[in-house]
Structure 1
Amino acid sequence: MTKKILFALMLFVLSGCGYHVAGKAGQMPGNIETLSIPIFTNSTLEPNVESVITSAFVNEFVTTVRVVDESTFMLEGTIKSYGLTPVSFSSSDVNQEYRLTVSMSLRIYDRQTGKVVWRDNDVVDTEDFSVNTADVAQTRDRETAALQKLSKDTARLVKERMLEGF
């Protein structure tokens, strides 16, 4: 009898403990079911960065909503900056690694009413990549791969924040 009471008391106490993230898990803002994602605006001097980033967002969001050419709701993005910063050097002061940093502003709005249902004007992400001082083309390929990874990771994180209501 004592074991049953102790077990019931333990279940009661433990069931009251729990952590959860506030927000509406699993729902897009405004219960969006379809979304159009036009090519992001590129305000940087880096060519084609908008294509890579937009493609990553389309690929990520297609798993949650129907991404279509024309929809009531539109995800607009503006790439505000694209920068490379040296982060590590050899003993002879030769750069060995760069950090790619991209910042953008994003918003989802209702095209019929103009109402913004979600916005983040300060989305920033980074990705590091190594430098091959003997082969500039290989370093450029690594930069492109870093941009692709950064874009994919950023799209996933943005979608997760939207789904959690942040």
Structure 2
Amino acid sequence: MRLLTPILLLALTGCGYHQAGSATHIPIDVRTLSVPIFTTNAQAFHTEMAFTDATIRELNTRTKYHILNTDSDSADATLHGTILSQTVAPLTYDANTGQSSSYLITITAKAVLTAHDGRILYRNDSFVYHEQYQSTQDLSGFIQEDNHAVNRVAKEFAQALVSDMLESF
């Protein structure tokens, strides 16, 4: 049994096992993160705001960093996000009306975390998310569902981004 314990410990250290939060891209001297409004290359309404808000919310919920929602020289690091593209494509059609009954929204984004001295601490240029939503045919009860789909994508993006920044191997 005594011989087995060191062998198991050696195996665990060799396979990439580590305690949660110990493989962070963010140096320990970073205490304040600036998260300015994401930029966008998409012709869509407020997607950059949804992504920025979701990211700030996720950072506030899961980290102990002081988060600034502006681009600030006093921050130890700045997280810049960019919405690269946003497309909406018809997914299904109503056979009776010939109109689209559901859509697929696809959003691609990137994020770069830069230290105050200009070093890149984290970068991911290829976040891609898809979300399906239904259209409303009854105009009297019409609810714009694409905004809800964008908010769901923004939440997934923020969760993945913060996890990747904090826990990536």
User: In structure 2, what is the equivalent of residue 133 of structure 1?
Assistant: 137
Could you say if the C-alpha distance between residues 48 and 137 of structure 1 is closer, same or farther in structure 2, counting changes exceeding 3 Å? farther
CA distance in 2 between counterparts of 1:42 and 1:85 reads 19
**Are residues 1:29 and 2:34 paired?**
no
Could you say if the C-alpha distance between residues 78 and 41 of structure 1 is closer, same or farther in structure 2, counting changes exceeding 3 Å? same
Offset at 1:164?
A: 1.6
For structure 1, the residue ranges without an aligned partner over 5 or more in a row are 1-7
**Are residues 1:101 and 2:96 paired?**
no
User: In structure 1, what is the equivalent of residue 154 of structure 2?
Assistant: 151
- Equivalent positions of 1:11-30 (< 5 A) are 25-26=20-21, 27=24, 29-30=26-27
Q: What is the Cα-based RMSD across aligned positions, in Å?
A: 2.8
Corresponding residue SS for 1:132: coil
Could you say if the C-alpha distance between residues 58 and 50 of structure 1 is closer, same or farther in structure 2, counting changes exceeding 3 Å? same
User: In structure 2, what is the equivalent of residue 87 of structure 1?
Assistant: 91
Query: 1:21-48 deviations in whole A, cap 9, x for unaligned?
Result: 6566324522343211000001111122
User: In structure 1, what is the equivalent of residue 166 of structure 2?
Assistant: 163
Q: Residue 57 of structure 1 aligns to which amino acid in structure 2?
A: T
User: In structure 2, what is the equivalent of residue 49 of structure 1?
Assistant: 47
CA distance in 2 between counterparts of 1:117 and 1:59 reads 21
CA distance in 2 between counterparts of 1:122 and 1:136 reads 39
| Structure with higher helix content | 1
User: In structure 1, what is the equivalent of residue 66 of structure 2?
Assistant: 66
CA distance in 1 between counterparts of 2:66 and 2:147 reads 28
37, 40, 64: which one aligns with 2:38: 40
Corresponding residue SS for 2:161: helix
104, 119, 123: which one aligns with 1:119: 123
Aligned length: 154
* Preserved CA contact (<8 Å) 2:42 2:86: yes
Q: Residue 38 of structure 2 aligns to which amino acid in structure 1?
A: F
Rg bigger for which structure? 1
CA distance in 1 between counterparts of 2:66 and 2:103 reads 36
Q: Residue 44 of structure 2 aligns to which amino acid in structure 1?
A: E
* Preserved CA contact (<8 Å) 1:37 1:58: yes
Could you say if the C-alpha distance between residues 81 and 41 of structure 1 is closer, same or farther in structure 2, counting changes exceeding 3 Å? same
